[in-house]
Amino acid sequence: MDPLGARSQIVDVQSLPTWDQPRGIQDEEDGENCFREDDCNLTNQINSLTSPFAFRQDINSKIVLFNGDVALLNCTAIVNTSNEMLTDKNPVSNSIHRYAGPELKDELIKLKGCRTGEAKITEGFNLAARFIIHTVGPKYKAKYRTAAESSLYSCYRNGMQLAKEHGMVSVGFCVVNTVKRAYPLEDATHIALRTVRRFLENHGENIETVVFAVTDVEEPLYLKLMPLYFPRSKKEEMTSLPFLPADIGNAEGEPVVPERQIRIAEKPGNLEDDSGDDSLDSDLGLVGNHAFARMEGDVDKQRKLILQGHVSEAAQQKQHQRNYNRWLCRARAEDLSDIAALKALYQTGVDRCGRTVMVVVGRNIPVTIIDMEKALLYFIHVMDHITVKEYVMVYFHTLTGEHNHLDTDFLKKLYDIVDAKFKKNLRAFYFVHPTFRSKVSTWFFTTFSVSGLKEKVHHIENLQQLFTCILPEQIDIPPFVLEYDTRVNSPYYTAHSSGL
């Protein structure tokens, strides 16, 4: 302790060397030579290829590899790995609790646990870090590898998302997968590195530093794999390329099951169906020599052709994709923290079929006082990476009032804007605690306004019915919903039990 009572072992992240800086002669040699074997044979094959993780000096300057205790980092937030009850005793968690003080334990009780893959935030208390992001890594079983990969991705993705939403400048990650949970270290490291890399590419403009805090056991593996995702030169980018795993995830780094990927034609710019589309193609001028560099031409004319039925289905789909991409770009660029603070849309666990569960809380949507276009942007922003694979949605209509009811025109607009994968991969929509009026409205909407949705909507009268589809420990239910269900449906449960 120094005379002011501060811990002398605190590490200021600004004092640590970033990944783009030399780490000593031996480390530089390791960085260049770790993939040198057979380079001569590979050189001619890879020179013409492009790495999906290109050399980016600006990103490398944000990355720090730190061999030490994450609890000692002086940064905006550090990440704690725990269990679903946030009571796990592992070296990382134990150290964080020791330095944070007893107030942290009391605060964690108020959080009422954390689902696998989810992330929750508390104050840092006596730590040098202002905040602690708590997350729960998956238990690994080879039989459920896909679910484990998705959950571990969510741990890192949600941690980075919280950092962005709270305007954090720096965040220190521990190794989320603990020995207790048996996740293979090398597989987990690939997911950790690529998820952070993709987030910084797409959303990390305001995040200045990301620290990977590792132990002596983990450091050699991180030093070996980091050049794959954070190459420090064009040469390292190309020599690392052959060693990237087959699965590098989607644009956000999330694992994607191959059979569920949307197939894209070899040249997306060229329509397979040429009939009836000459008039549209004649309006599209080439810019450059690749399929994605096309001018859009006269948008009004395209819309008129669509209305007149003179444009092929393929062309309509292409136009729709352009429109969705514009909304997605806006969603990624705009500050949506006020909508996020409503806690009206969030990811929880998985259903009994292993599909991601997304929750919408109707009572948390003040329709009459918020900017509904920003709400639409937030929905697209959150859901875009979720909908690349099968998912289900749970909508709690519990205790909603007139000021919470979404307008039919808004829902129709949302349905028309979203990408095809939103509709294709939605497997079920659970409407919890519906009223007679909401049932009628839902029937009219799914019958006359949209197509293909009616069979996916299931009205759920009580939570017991919901638990037949989603285990209780896999869904984060707002306390007021639990209280309402207990109050209203307890007589039903009692009578049902007596009948048995």
Taking residues 448-460, report their average pLDDT: 87
CATH number for the domain formed by residue range(s) 11-256 = 3.40.220.10
pLDDT level of residue 500 (50, 70, 90 thresholds): very low
Q: What is the residue whose two structure tokens read 């104050």?
A: 123
Q: How many CB atoms neighbour CB 378 within 10 A?
A: 22
Q: For 348-366, what is each residue's pLDDT tens digit? A: 999 999 999 999 999 999 9
Q: What is the distance in angstroms between the CA of the first residue and the CA of the last residue of the chain?
A: 66
Q: For 179-232, what is each residue's pLDDT tens digit? A: 788 899 999 999 999 999 999 999 999 999 999 999 999 999 999 999 999 999
289 vs 203, higher pLDDT: 203
Q: How many helices (H) and strands (E) does the chain have?
A: 19, 13
Taking residues 92-121, report their average pLDDT: 94
Q: How many CB atoms neighbour CB 431 within 10 A?
A: 20
Domain spans in the chain, listed from the N-terminal domain onward: 11-256, 278-333, 337-499
Q: What percent of the chain has pLDDT over 90?
A: 57
When mean pLDDT is compared over 21-35, 257-271, 397-411, the highest value belongs to: 397-411
- For the stretch 41-66, what's the b/e string if a residue is b when 16 or more beta carbons lie within 10 angstroms of its beta carbon? ebeeebeeeebebebbeebbebbbbb
Angle between helix axes 25-33 and 219-229 (nearest 10 degrees) is: 60
φ, ψ of residue 273 in degrees (nearest 5): -100, 105
Q: Are 329 and 298 in contact (CB under 8 A)?
A: no
pLDDT of residue 108: 95
Taking residues 328-334, report their average pLDDT: 84
Angle at 440 between CA 439 and CA 442, to 5 degrees: 65
Q: For 68-77, what is each residue's pLDDT tens digit? A: 999 999 999 9
Q: Are 160 and 199 in contact (CB under 8 A)?
A: yes
pLDDT of residue 450: 84
Fold classification of 337-499 is Phosphatidylinositol Transfer Protein Sec14p (3.40.525)
> Is the pLDDT score of 312 beyond 80?
no
> Is the pLDDT score of 276 beyond 70?
no
Q: For 143-185, what is each residue's pLDDT tens digit? A: 888 889 999 999 999 999 999 999 999 999 999 987 788 899 9
pLDDT of residue 304: 56
pLDDT of residue 302: 54
381 vs 298, higher pLDDT: 381
pTM given for the model: 0.52
Taking residues 377-398, report their average pLDDT: 93
434 vs 46, higher pLDDT: 434
Instruction: State the sign of the Cα–Cα–Cα–Cα dihedral 486, 488, 491, 495.
Output: negative
pLDDT level of residue 492 (50, 70, 90 thresholds): very low
> Rounded to whole angstroms, how far apart are CA atoms 236 and 36?
10
Across-strand partners of 458?
430
pLDDT of residue 139: 92
In the predicted model, what is the mean pLDDT of the chain? 82
